[in-house]
Amino acid sequence: MASSTLHITLIQPDIVWENKSANLRQYEQFIAGIGNKRQVVVLPEMFSTGFSMAPERLAETMEGDTVGWMASMATRHRCILTGSLIIEEEGRYYNRMLWVQPDGKIGYYDKRHLFGYADEDKHYTAGDTRTIVQVNGWKINLQVCYDLRFPVWVRNHNEVYDVLLYVANWPEKRNLAWKTLLQARAIENQCYVVGVNRVGKDGKEINYSGDSSVFDPLGAMIWQQSNEVAVHTVTLDKDMLQETREKLPFLKDGDKFLLL
């Protein structure tokens, strides 16, 4: 059923390095406290471990404990739960963003652009397909961290999607790029952009300032939080989105190419 509004809850945690049980416990508390606007709940990239290059030790299968935990939480709290984790499949490792529905259905997106600067490309296999999910008439494009730097990959043609959703472990020292590019993606694609990051310090002594953000289709900031753990729900307005696209029909003038 189509809805003119969509409630998205951003969870910006301080991830405990490579400690799955500790991280899942804190997320349970966060999710339980969201309240009655619990619709889509977003965790960051590699939410159960931090941005680790040890998939041989940390990876799980799609039948593993963390995926099972996501399904259980989605069912218990009647929400969609999304975020990325380390998945092993047929001997390969993926930075996989899951979209777990309360009815038990699971969609996923494998991170396309692997962060070679941190040797992610040496440990993980890149995805090759965009994933656009739907909830109550809203179309959401799932993306992971470094994907943000590559605008052609998410180019919006003919209003294919309404929301760009990025989950990340994006370091503080490059947070200007994070905030600027999130806003740019909203403006150029005339869509809402939601970016969920982490705070704290990881096992490599890398600092994260969070800066989880939401921008509207004109690039105006709806919400942003830096340097502290946060759980925040935003309500997106489909009427505002459609009005923006009708008054400013820029998407139709874009270059005629498409990456699938």
Catalytic residues: 45, 111, 145
Closest Cα partner for 196 from 176, 224, 173?
Answer: 224
User: What does the buried/exposed string (b/e) look like for 80-117 if buried means 16 or more CB atoms within 10 Å of the residue's CB?
Assistant: bbbbbbbbbeeeebbbbbbbbbeeeeebbbbbbbbbee
Counting every residue, how long is the chain?
260
Residues 149, 116 contacting (CB under 8 angstroms): no
Q: How far apart are CA 194 and CA 208, in angstroms?
A: 17
> What secondary structure does DSSP assign to 51-95, as a single string?
S-S-HHHH-B-TTSHHHHHHHHHHHHHTSEEEEEEEEEETTEEEE
Helix (H, G, I), strand (E, B) or coil at 156: coil
Residue whose pair of structure tokens reads 């809203």 in the numeric block = 138
Q: How far apart are CA 210 and CA 227, in angstroms?
A: 6
Closest Cα partner for 42 from 233, 237, 238, 220?
Answer: 233
